[in-house]
Amino acid sequence: MEEPIGVTDAARFPQQRGEQLLGAAARYAEERHWDVVPGTWLEAVEGGERCSCGDLDCPAPGAHPTGPDWAGRATGSAAAARRMWSGQPGSSVLLPAGRAFDALDVPESAGFLALARMERMDLTPGPVIRTPDRRMVFFVLPGGAAKSCDLARRLGWDAAALDLVGRGEGHYVAAPPTRVGGRGAVQWARRPTHANRWLPDARKLISPLAYACAREAADARARVS
């Protein structure tokens, strides 16, 4: 029986983890109709791990595209995904934004606050990713990234000042169970399910997200004053 999307197990051996990445990539394509593309991977070097790109100062070890043509190589076919990952099963799973979804990227603390606020407002978020860099990524309908700054401005907030980042065409999201070297695994804060198959419009989520980001920014300023 296959594991649900995004489940990770730190006790797995590298080969098994690679097989899990392959399976997750295929299921994203087959079950969610998301395009997928293999990214870099982690290599064992002198008792540690290094990104396959070879850069010792890589900012996202094992979790970024392998070259500038990454978007053109993305596939929405589960069979093609299996062939692509079979060549290097440890490759990270990258999801191109701007196709089946856009993403709104916020600090993790603000993301948890926003989720609680959405629950009180009876809003249903789409899938939400939690990254090892303490960020949360909310999936929204395509086109949401481009209008996020204007939507926030209409509510009286500056998205850039709030650290609310829209990710659309030309961007990608590293998906579970991808691991970022030295930091841990990408995880689902809200797993893809049948209940959230239909993604929300960004305009429905921007208010709780902007409010949460503003609240966290104000709290951070108060802590250092």
Per-residue pLDDT tens over the stretch 123-168: 999 999 999 999 999 999 999 999 999 999 999 999 889 999 999 9
The number of domains in the chain is: 2
CB 171 within 8 A of CB 137: no
Domain assignment of residue 186, yes or no: yes
Domain assignment of residue 1, yes or no: no
SS3 (DSSP) at 14: helix
| 107 lies in the same domain as 177 | yes
- Cβ neighbours for 86, distance < 8 A, ≥ 6 positions apart: 22
pLDDT tens track for 55-100: 999 999 999 999 999 999 999 999 999 999 999 999 999 999 999 9
Distances (CA, A) of 27 to 119, 176, 217: 28, 12, 37
Answer with the one of 41, 67, 96 that is the final residue of a domain: 96
Answer with the one of 47, 69, 96 that is the final residue of a domain: 96
Answer with the one of 34, 65, 96 that is the final residue of a domain: 96
| 41 lies in the same domain as 90 | yes
Domain interval for residue 84: 10-96
What counts of helices (H) and strands (E) characterise the chain?
Answer: 7, 12
Q: Cα(40)–Cα(46) distance, rounded to whole angstroms?
A: 19
Which element (helix H / strand E) includes 174? strand 172-174
